[in-house]
Structure 1
Amino acid sequence: MPSSLPSDRHMGFSSAETVGRILTFLLWKFWKLCGAAVLFLILIYWMYGTVIILILLIVTVIGGLYHYQDSLLYFPEQPESSRVFVQTPSSLGLPFELVTLTAKDKTSIVAYFIKQPPTAMSTAPTLLYFHGNAGNIGHRLHNAQALYHHCGFNVLLVEYRGYGKSHGSPCESGLYQDAQASWDFLLSRHDIDQSKLIIFGRSLGGAVAIHLAASLGHNDHLMALIVENTFCGIPHMAQLMFPGATAIPHIFFKNQFLSISEIRKVRSPALLLSGLADQLIPPTMMSDLYQNCGSRVKLIETFPGGTHNCTWTSFGYYDYINKFVGFTSHTGGGKTDSDEPELN
C-alpha cells in the first residue's frame, strides 16, 4: 500500500533544491548589482577620468614643490666647500670671539663677535649682521672689516642653521629663532653699550632683520634697523619669476618671509640701502618697503651702480650709515617730529 507521506529522502532532495534556487537567485541579484556598480565606475572614469588624473597631478606637483622650496631658496653649499671651510676674522687682522649660540629649539649655531679695542668696545655701537641666502659668514668678512674700521662698530656675524659650521637645516621659523638667540646674546653682554644695538640684514638677511625688529617694537636697546637690497616677500618674488604664481595662495609657500607686512610693525629708526643696478631683487621692492615702514624716522638711500651683492662697495655707502647712526644717537633713538632725517 503506497504511503501517503513523502519519504525522508524525497524531502531532503526537495529542501536542497529550494535552497539551491534561493542561493542562485541571490547570486544573480548580487551579480547584477556588482555589474551595475562596475559599469557605473567605468562610466565615471570615462567621463571624469582626465579631470581626476589632472587633479592628482596638480596635487603631486604642488606637494613636490612645497617640499622642494628649501632647495630653491637656501644655498649653504654655494660656493663649494662653504660648509667645510669658513674664513676667520683673524685672517684680516680683526680681533674676534668665536661664539656658540643655542636657539629655542636647541639648534646650535655659531657666530663671530668682532670687537673694537677695549678702550672703545664698551661705547661703540654693536651691529647684528644677517647675511644673504648663500655662502657663510666668512664670505662677509671684508664688509664686516669696513663696518669695523669706517663705522667703528662691534660686529656680530651670525651663521644661520645649516650654514657654515652651524647645525640643523635652514627654514623660515628656524632663522627667526637664530635671530632671537643672537639678540639675546647681545643683551647678555655687559661689556658693550646695550642702548646702541643695530640690526642689519642684506637680501634674505633683510627679511630676518625686519622680522626681529618688528617683534621688538619699541625697544630701548634697538638703536636702528638697516636693510639692504631685500624683498617684500617670497610670494612676491615668485610672482616676479613665474607670472602664473599670482594665483597661488600664500599657504602653499613653505617659506614666506612677508617683510611687506612685518615692516609695518617696525618702530625703530630705519635706514634702507638700495642698489639701483640690482638684477635679482627689483629696487621697487625696497621703495615699497620704505613706503610701508611703520617707523616715524626712516630714510632710503639709493646707489645708481649698486648691484645685489656689491652695493656695500659703492661710494658713500659707509658715510650714509655713519650719518644715520649719528643722527639717531643725537636724537635719542630718532625721537623727532620729522619722518625723514636730512643727512647732509
Structure 2
Amino acid sequence: MGSATSSMAAKFAFFPPDPPSYDTYIDEPTGKMRISDVLPRDDVDVVKLSTKKGNEIVAMYVKNPCASLTLLYSHGNAADIGQMYHIFTELSLHLGVNLMGYDYSGYGQSSGKPSEQDTYADIEAAYKCLEEKYGIKEEDVILYGQSVGSGPALDLAIRLPNLRGVVLHSPILSGLRVMYPVKKTFWFDIYKNIDKIPHVSCPVLVIHGTEDEVVDFSHGKQLWELCKEKYEPLWLKGGNHCNLELYPEYLRHLRKFISAIENLPRLRNSTEQSADQSESPLKTEDNKDKARSSTDLRDKSRSSTGQRDKSRLSTDSKERSRTSTEKREKSRRSTDRSGKARSSIDQSERARNSFDRLGDMVRSVGLCNVDCLKQAALEA
C-alpha cells in the first residue's frame, strides 16, 4: 500500500523534461565531461555521481575563485541542469559563490525514476561530492531549494547541524498541501517541510511571490513563521511562480543574505575557540602561581591579563581596571558586545551601499524560474 501510494504521488509530483534538454559527452582535448549545446567553460565541472539508491545522477559545479561559500542548488520541477546551466553560472558570478546544481533521478541524463526518497539520496550524493572532491566544509555550505527542491533541501538541512544557511524559493509546506489546504500531516504525504522546518538550526531566507498561482504564497509565509532562525524574508508583490528572478530585489536580497551569513562565526570554529578558552584559565592559574613566587607580582599579573585580552579578541584597549578580577571580566564582556555591534553596523552600511549599485543587474542577467517551462516541455 505504501509503495503504491508513493508511486502515485511521484506521478503527480515530478515532471522531468521529456525529452531531456541536454546530453553529455567527453571533450577529447581535456578528457572532461561536458554538457551539450553550451559553450565549454574552464570554471564548470560536469560529473556523474552514484547515489545510495543505485542511480547515477549528473551534476555541475561552477567554481568562483573569490568565493568563501558554496551554494548547493535543488532546482524546481519540469527543469534539468541543461536549462539551468546559464542561470547557475550567472548566480555564481553575481552572488560571489561556488555553485553545485544537480539533476534528480530520472531528470536530464540521470538514471532511474524520480521519487521522494530518490531525491533525498540525490542531494546526499551531491553534498558528498562537495566534501570529498572539492574539500568544501559543512559550515561553508548554503542549501538552496526551489519549489519542489525545497523538499530535499530541508531534509538534508535537518541533518547538518553546522550548515551555514538555507534559501527557500517558492517552497511548499508539503506535497498534499499544494493541492488541498489540509490542517494535519498524513502518512502518505510527501515532502513534509512543515514538520521539518522547526528543526533547521541555521538562518533561513524565504522568497515567495504574493501572486504565486502554483504554490500559494501562504506556504512560504507559514514556513518562515515556523523557522527557528528567521532571516528577513522577501515577499515579492505581484510575483508568480515563474518570474521571481526578474525582480531587482531578488538578486539584491540574496546578496544581502549571503553577506550577512559570511560575517557569522563558523560553528565548528566557535566550538574550537570555546575549547581553547576553556584551557586558558588553566594557563592563567599557572602564571599566577609563578607570579606569587616572584617579587614582581604586579608586572606579571598585568602580562597575564594582556594574554587573556588577546585570546578574547577585545577591541577596547582601555580595559585596565585593576580593582578586582570580577570588574575586569565585566568590563571586557561589555566592551566585546559594543565592539561587535559597531562592527556589525559598519558592515551593514557598506553592504547596503554596495547592493544599491546593483539595482538593475538582474534584468541584464535575464533569469527565469524554469518551472514555467512545464507546458512547453509537455508540448515538445
Distance 1:65 1:238, change over 3 A: farther
Q: Does 1:326 align with 2:259?
A: yes
Q: Does 1:165 align with 2:109?
A: yes
Residue in 2 that maps onto 1:29: none
In 2, the alpha carbon distance for the partners of 1:89 and 1:196 equals: 32
Unaligned runs of 5+ in 1: 1-58, 241-245
In 2, the alpha carbon distance for the partners of 1:264 and 1:150 equals: 30
Pairing partner for 2:91 from 137, 147, 158: 147
Residue in 2 that maps onto 1:316: 249
Pairing partner for 2:145 from 201, 207, 212: 201
Distance 1:109 1:303, change over 3 A: same
Q: Does 1:109 align with 2:57?
A: yes
Question: Deviations 1:30-61 (Å, cap 9, x if unpaired)?
Answer: xxxxxxxxxxxxxxxxxxxxxxxxxxxxx9xx
Report SS of the residue matched to 2:248: coil
In 2, the alpha carbon distance for the partners of 1:142 and 1:105 equals: 29
| Alignment-mate amino acid for residue 266 of structure 1 | V
User: Is residue 64–residue 93 contact of structure 2 (8 Å, CA) maintained in 1?
Assistant: no
Identical residues among aligned pairs (%):
24
Report SS of the residue matched to 1:328: helix
TM norm structure 1: 0.68
Pairing partner for 1:260 from 194, 197, 201: 194
Residue in 1 that maps onto 2:356: none
1:81-100 → structure 2 map (5 Å cutoff): 81-82=19-20, 85=23, 90-91=38-39, 95-100=43-48
User: Is residue 50–residue 57 contact of structure 2 (8 Å, CA) maintained in 1?
Assistant: yes
The alpha carbon displacement at 1:271 in A equals 0.7
1:272-283 → structure 2 map (5 Å cutoff): 272-283=206-217
Residue in 2 that maps onto 1:181: 125
Distance 1:175 1:64, change over 3 A: closer
| Alignment-mate amino acid for residue 169 of structure 2 | E
The alpha carbon displacement at 1:257 in A equals 0.4
The alpha carbon displacement at 1:92 in A equals 7.9
| Alignment-mate amino acid for residue 299 of structure 1 | E
Q: Does 1:229 align with 2:170?
A: yes
| Alignment-mate amino acid for residue 258 of structure 2 | V
Distance 1:212 1:261, change over 3 A: same
User: Is residue 90–residue 96 contact of structure 1 (8 Å, CA) maintained in 2?
Assistant: no
Distance 1:247 1:294, change over 3 A: closer
Residue in 2 that maps onto 1:269: 203
Residue in 1 that maps onto 2:11: 71
TM norm structure 2: 0.62
Alignment: residue pair count:
265
Residue in 1 that maps onto 2:220: 286
Report SS of the residue matched to 1:204: helix
In 2, the alpha carbon distance for the partners of 1:248 and 1:268 equals: 26
